[in-house]
Amino acid sequence: MGTTTLAILAGLVYTLFKLLAEWRSGGLGGIKRHWQQGLSSTLAVACCVWGLLFGYHLFFRVPDHIYQEASTNRARLRPISGVIPVPTLFNSETLNRLGIAHQQLKLVFKEPDQFSVVAKRVISDEMQRMHDFLIDVGFDLSAEVPPLRIHAGGAVGMSWESPGTVYDEQLFVPTDGISDAETIRNLYALWVFRRMFRSAPFSPLGGGTFHANYNHLEVMSSLYSCYYRSGLANRNVCPHDWSGSSWMKAIWNIRQRYGREFTDSAMLFTVKAWGSFYRAEPTFDAFFKDRFLKGVSVLSYDVKLLADIEKILHDHGLGIQ
């Protein structure tokens, strides 16, 4: 029964007893003479009783109930040991983890080449998806893209002019893949990383075939293009044999074991922590391995983790002297 109800009942009971006493002492006349005083007394008694009951619940009943519940539930809860896992708060394809708004790419479809409406839409959509994905990983990319042209065949192509601006370059979309999503992503990603690795600290004087590590930088461009395109597709899109296929398979294995975010970041920090020296290396293995492990070490100094990653590389025939 509620506090207010009890207070009203107490007031009514008091009133009945008081009426009975008035009737016995003075009859109905006495009741009529003192009815106003009786009503005031009833309200006063009801308020006093309500105040006492409210104070009882507020200062005794409720705290005691909370204490009893806490004591009961303490026995049901097991203490948490170790690190509490933090859930992933974003999906790299849909949410910009850097908190920076995605820029719309500035595409130029160069005339007189005839791009259909469908081809323009596919090229715009897929290049934008690849751009946004790389931005979310942490790369600093411009929204400017070289003018686009069409050329016959199935292979992507590009031309460079150094020194020069992005508009002195050209990207060639193959006729056989002009509306193919993977072909378009390959063209954009390969251009992004070739342009990136032809500048300092990767290559002096704007790069070029004269650079001692030019071929290694080309393999590295293809490796980065393949890895991040695979990340966007959530599968290895470059499983065939090519000059960087062993590294691609090894890094994909690392991704499967340690997760997308860790491996995306390891590849990113391999680039960001790149040294400024230009010593010629005899093989891509010698050129890339120590720099990749340096990128991993930015994320963790766990000796066991580093040893496990080196073992994965060794299992693919990499880093063996």
Task: Decide: 121 and 215 in contact? Cβ < 8 Å.
Answer: no
Q: Is residue 107 in a domain? A: no
Task: Decide: 41 and 10 in contact? Cβ < 8 Å.
Answer: no
Task: Decide: 162 and 207 in contact? Cβ < 8 Å.
Answer: yes
| b/e code 46-77 from CB counts within 10 Å (16+ = b) | beebbeebeeeeeeeeeeeeeeeeeeeeeeee
Distance, CA of 220 to CA of 8 (rounded, Å):
86
pLDDT digits (tens, 9 = 90+) for 49-97: 656 656 666 566 656 656 565 555 444 434 433 333 333 433 434 344 5
pLDDT in the model for residue 292:
96
Distance, CA of 68 to CA of 66 (rounded, Å):
5
* Regions of the chain with pLDDT less than 70: 1-100, 203-211, 277-278, 320-321
* Helix orientation angle between 214-233 and 260-272, rounded to the nearest 10 degrees: 150
Q: Is residue 307 in a domain? A: no
Phi, psi of 284 (to 5 degrees): -65, -35
Q: Containing H/E element for 217?
A: helix 214-233
pLDDT in the model for residue 296:
96
Instruction: Find residue 106's DSSP bridge partners.
Output: 144
Q: Is residue 11 in a domain? A: yes
pLDDT in the model for residue 15:
64
Q: What letter represents residue 124's amino acid? A: S
Distance, CA of 110 to CA of 123 (rounded, Å):
13
* Host domain of residue 12: 3-76
Q: Is residue 271 in a domain? A: no
Q: Is residue 7 in a domain? A: yes
Q: Is residue 61 in a domain? A: yes
Q: What is the DSSP string of 53-120?
A: HHHHIIIIIHHHHHHHHHHHHHHHPPPP-SPPPPPP---TTTS-TT--PPPPPB--B-TTS---HHHH
pLDDT in the model for residue 22:
62
* Domains held by the chain: number: 1
| b/e code 210-226 from CB counts within 10 Å (16+ = b) | ebebeebbbbbbbbbbb
List Cβ<8 Å contacts ≥24 apart for 208-215: 208/162, 211/278, 212/278, 212/280, 213/278, 213/280, 213/281, 213/287, 215/284
Q: Is residue 63 in a domain? A: yes
Q: Could you tell me the two tokens for 185?
A: 């992503």
pLDDT in the model for residue 69:
56
pLDDT in the model for residue 281:
87
Could you tell me which of 223, 225, 271, 224 has the C-alpha nearest to residue 243? 223
pLDDT in the model for residue 32:
56
Q: Is residue 301 in a domain? A: no
Q: Could you tell me the two tokens for 298?
A: 């930015």
Phi, psi of 223 (to 5 degrees): -65, -45
